[in-house]
């Protein structure tokens, strides 16, 4: 999803996307918060864990001019334990009129815990299928910004729903926890006949009865409750087709539902959708819902929501969708809809991926420079605060604003994927993602962060535990100091030091990129496998180095990095004096103010380490008479000097 909130504008004003408004990211983020804007009691409902829903028939009667819904929800489920009752999540703002099973009325209770509890006259045995029919009506509850909305556009009434993360229960009886996808649904929307209705799946039929029209849609893929949505207004429909169009993967429809007053500009904006669709299919896997459709339905929030097969979208002031919004919501069809995060603590598996896929569109359509600019904007936002993890704590997962943190769930999640791509290389990274999407245990089901890690490691061939601990579960970012010293005309010595913004990480081990430049626009990018402070690298360079740049392609989350280039290693050698030398008891290192001493290692002539000193003055009385080698570590490199003990 994508969202907007005015409070975010100042914080995120630096975030831009190629060919989009500077405010587009805020708009993207805001819509995903719209179902609530405050902390709620959002723990998993233990009373809904003893059954598995296999089918919903959802019959809704609505009028976009009226804040009201009438519904008949038929639910088939399988008992996972012997059941005397079944519990659904449902707001008590609506009134249940009846519940039946096999035509027989059942006793039910609506309680203050937002539950509908249905009693069975005899227990339903484990493994048995059962079907209940719930008839209800009323004005849906409004949490935060509301999950059921009626307003107008250009004077015409419009109704839409937006249930992520916790709003499905506000307007229909469901099981909204992230543990049970419904195998298939049929949705019947009855509304005044002058309006067009839209929901998930393919339209099957329209039936007019007097002044009302009932539109039937069927969706035959597993779907969680929060991704089921409806919208009703005087939509104008614009059809496209997409897909790579091979015999194995034929074309499929893109159906756009637009407000008539903005249709001209909107039609122009969605023209890019097949191009983005084809890019995602070629990069990842075929569109997950090819047997049905993809589409956009215009609605009134400032962003978008990735309802399966039909993303709800907000047009900008010109009546068009931004390209980044189109790309983000389309990316969710793979990451979020086909594979859904298995808990709100893992929301980055939805939002980090969708954000990164929108960035990949920038890379693919606009080129490397635009991609670097996009990543730099994300890095600036991530590092605007010292802490914050991608993975949520249990308490954070009860806070809608934290779940949909643009800094952490979106930007940091996306940049973590960029760092994994940089660490693994393109071939292994994208293969691992394709394997993840094709995993029969995850596809059209739920995934947790360790599921993704396992697929990445299987292709990479090495553990990524430290990476995930540093970048997903713990907090902060590194600051690098890069000191480069020419050794001769064809070599430089690079010393890497790092500090961390948060104490939860002792050292961020990552490959880093250092760009060395010379006269006449000469460029050499060195990839260094950095794993420790003070680590030194000898790099062969085919020219005399005159400049140093850290992370030019913005592969890493980091901030306030510095680089230094010494004229030569011989200058460093001459600038440090060991006195007195020869010496009998005490030795002093005289070091320029701009150079910082890290340690001194003293070796005998056999190359054996005798002692280590960490101060500029140290005692050598314990050394025997003779010649020793002092290896002097500084922030600008290592100097070797002879030390004679009298």
For residue 141, give the CATH number of its domain.
Answer: 2.60.40.1730
| Cα distance from N-terminal residue to C-terminal residue, the chain | 74
In this structure, are 365 and 485 located in the same domain?
no
Q: How confident is the model at residue 35 (pLDDT cuts 50, 70, 90)?
A: very low
The domain tally of the chain equals 4
User: What is the per-residue pLDDT across 560-616, written as a single tens digit (0 to 9) for each?
Assistant: 999 999 876 656 777 788 889 999 888 998 887 778 899 999 999 888 899 999 999
Answer yes or no: do 607 and 504 share one domain.
no
Please tell me which residue, 5 or 614, carries the higher pLDDT value. 614
Tokens 């003070």 locate to 534
- Given 234, 262, 291, which residue is the final one in a domain? 234
CATH number reported for the structural domain that contains residue 440 in this entry? 1.10.390.10
**Average model confidence (pLDDT) for the chain?**
91
Is residue 414 pLDDT above 60, yes or no?
A: yes
User: Which helix or strand (DSSP H or E) is residue 277 part of?
Assistant: helix 273-283
Assess whether 449 and 530 both reside in one domain.
no
CA-to-CA separations, 48 to 77, 90, 469, in angstroms, rounded? 11, 12, 33
Indicate whether 602 and 630 sit together in one domain: yes
Q: Is residue 415 situated within a structural domain?
A: yes
- Does some domain include residue 297? no
Evaluate whether residue 453 is within a structural domain.
yes
Task: List the single range of 206-210, 371-375, 382-386, 612-616 with lowest mean pLDDT.
Answer: 612-616
**With bands split at pLDDT 50, 70 and 90, how would you rate the model's confidence at 274?**
very high
How confident is the model at residue 28, as a pLDDT? 54
**Looking at the structure, do residues 464 and 588 belong to the same domain, yes or no?**
no
The whole-angstrom separation of Cα 52 and Cα 542 is 65
**Average pLDDT of the residues in 159-172:** 93
Boundary residue ending a domain (542, 565, 588): 565
Q: What is the CATH number of the domain that holds 592?
A: 2.60.40.10
User: Using 50, 70 and 90 to split pLDDT, how confident is the model at 317?
Assistant: confident
Residue 312 counted as domain residue:
no
Whole-number pLDDT of residue 26? 55
Where a domain ends, among 437, 454, 473? 473
pTM value is: 0.86
Name the band, by pLDDT with cuts 50, 70 and 90, for residue 640.
Answer: confident
State how beta strands 445-447 and 339-341 pair. parallel
Indicate whether 367 belongs to any domain.
yes
d(CA 321, CA 11): 23
What is the helix (H) or strand (E) element at residue 325, kind and residue range? helix 323-332
Residue 378 is part of which domain span?
Answer: 6-31+338-473
| pLDDT tens profile 451-496 | 999 999 999 999 999 999 999 999 999 999 999 998 877 889 999 9
Edge-to-edge strand list for the sheet holding 184-192: 104-105, 95-101, 129-138, 66-79, 51-63, 184-192, 212-219, 202-209
* pLDDT reading at 536 higher than 80: yes
- Mean local confidence (pLDDT), 212-238: 98
**Same domain (yes/no): 458, 514:** no
Does one domain contain both 22 and 65?
no
Q: Supply the pLDDT for residue 29.
A: 56
- Asked whether residue 451 is assigned to any structural domain, the reply reads yes
Residue 188 within any structural domain of the chain: yes
d(CA 553, CA 545): 19
pLDDT greater at residue 247 or residue 551: 551
- Is the pLDDT at 116 greater than 80? The verdict is yes
Task: Give the three-class secondary structure for 21.
Answer: coil
Q: Is residue 169 situated within a structural domain?
A: yes
Please check the confidence at residue 3 and state whether its pLDDT lies above 60. Answer: no
435 and 538, same domain (yes or no): no
- Residues 130 and 93 reside in one and the same domain: yes
Averaged pLDDT, 27-46: 55
Could you tell me if 84 and 177 lie in one domain? yes
Instruction: Looking at the structure, tell me whether residues 21 and 152 fall in a common domain.
Output: no
The per-residue pLDDT for 25 is 56
Q: What is the pLDDT of residue 11?
A: 30
Residues 175, 74 share a domain: yes
**pLDDT of the residue at 600:** 93
């Amino acid at each position: 999803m994508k969202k907007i909130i005015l409070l975010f504008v100042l914080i995120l004003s630096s975030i831009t996307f190629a060919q989009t408004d500077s405010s587009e990211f805020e708009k993207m983020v805001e819509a995903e918060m719209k179902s609530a804007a405050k902390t709620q009691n959002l723990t998993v409902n233990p009373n809904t864990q003893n059954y598995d829903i296999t089918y919903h028939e959802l019959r809704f009667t609505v009028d976009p001019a009226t804040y009201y819904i009438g519904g008949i929800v038929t639910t088939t489920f399988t008992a996972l334990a012997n059941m005397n009752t079944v519990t659904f999540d449902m707001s008590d703002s609506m009134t249940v009129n009846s519940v039946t099973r096999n035509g027989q009325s059942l006793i039910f209770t609506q309680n203050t815990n937002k539950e509908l509890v249905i009693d069975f006259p005899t227990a339903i045995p484990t493994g048995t299928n059962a079907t209940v029919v719930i008839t209800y009506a009323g004005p849906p509850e409004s949490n935060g910004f509301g999950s059921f909305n009626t307003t107008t556009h250009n004077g015409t009434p419009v109704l839409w729903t937006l249930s992520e993360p916790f709003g499905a229960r506000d307007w229909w009886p469901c099981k909204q926890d992230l543990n049970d996808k419904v195998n298939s649904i049929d949705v019947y929307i009855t509304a005044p006949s002058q309006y067009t209705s839209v929901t998930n799946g393919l339209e099957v039929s329209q039936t007019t009865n007097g002044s009302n029209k009932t539109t039937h849609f069927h969706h035959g893929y597993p779907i969680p409750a929060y991704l089921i949505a409806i919208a009703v207004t005087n939509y104008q429909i614009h059809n496209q087709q997409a897909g790579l169009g091979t015999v194995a993967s034929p074309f499929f429809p893109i159906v756009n539902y637009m407000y008539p007053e903005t249709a001209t500009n909107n039609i122009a904006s969605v023209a890019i959708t097949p191009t983005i669709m084809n890019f995602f299919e070629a990069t990842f896997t075929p569109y997950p819902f090819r047997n049905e459709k993809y589409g956009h339905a215009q609605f009134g929030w400032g962003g978008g929501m990735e309802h399966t097969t039909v993303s709800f979208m907000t047009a900008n002031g010109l009546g068009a969708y931004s390209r980044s919004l189109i790309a983000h919501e389309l990316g969710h069809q793979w990451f979020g809809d086909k594979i859904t995060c298995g808990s709100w603590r893992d929301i980055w598996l939805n939002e980090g991926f969708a954000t990164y896929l929108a960035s990949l569109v920038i890379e693919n359509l606009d080129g490397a420079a635009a991609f670097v600019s996009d990543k730099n904007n994300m890095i600036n936002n991530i590092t605007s605060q010292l802490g914050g993890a991608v993975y949520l704590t249990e308490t954070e997962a009860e806070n809608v604003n934290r779940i949909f943190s643009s800094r952490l769930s979106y930007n940091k999640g996306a940049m973590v994927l960029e760092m994994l791509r940089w660490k693994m290389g393109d071939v292994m990274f994208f293969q691992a993602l394709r394997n993840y999407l094709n995993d029969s245990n995850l596809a059209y089901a739920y995934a947790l962060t360790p599921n993704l890690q396992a697929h990445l490691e299987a292709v990479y061939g090495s553990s990524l535990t430290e990476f995930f601990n540093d970048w997903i579960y713990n907090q902060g970012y590194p600051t690098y100091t890069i000191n480069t010293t020419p050794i001769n005309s064809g070599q430089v010595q690079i010393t890497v030091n790092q500090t961390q913004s948060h104490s939860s990480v002792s050292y961020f081990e990552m490959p880093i990129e250092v760009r060395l430049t010379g006269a006449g626009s000469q460029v050499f990018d060195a990839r260094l496998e950095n794993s420790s402070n003070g680590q030194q690298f000898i790099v062969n360079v085919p020219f005399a180095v005159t400049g140093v740049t850290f992370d030019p392609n913005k592969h890493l989350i980091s901030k306030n990095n510095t680089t230094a280039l010494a004229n030569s290693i011989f200058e460093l050698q001459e600038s440090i004096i060991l006195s007195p030398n020869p010496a009998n008891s005490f030795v002093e290192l005289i070091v320029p103010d701009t150079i910082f001493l890290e340690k001194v290692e003293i070796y005998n002539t056999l190359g054996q380490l005798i002692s280590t000193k960490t101060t500029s003055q140290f005692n050598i009385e314990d050394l025997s008479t003779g010649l020793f080698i002092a290896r002097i570590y500084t922030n600008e490199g290592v100097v070797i000097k002879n030390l004679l003990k009298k």
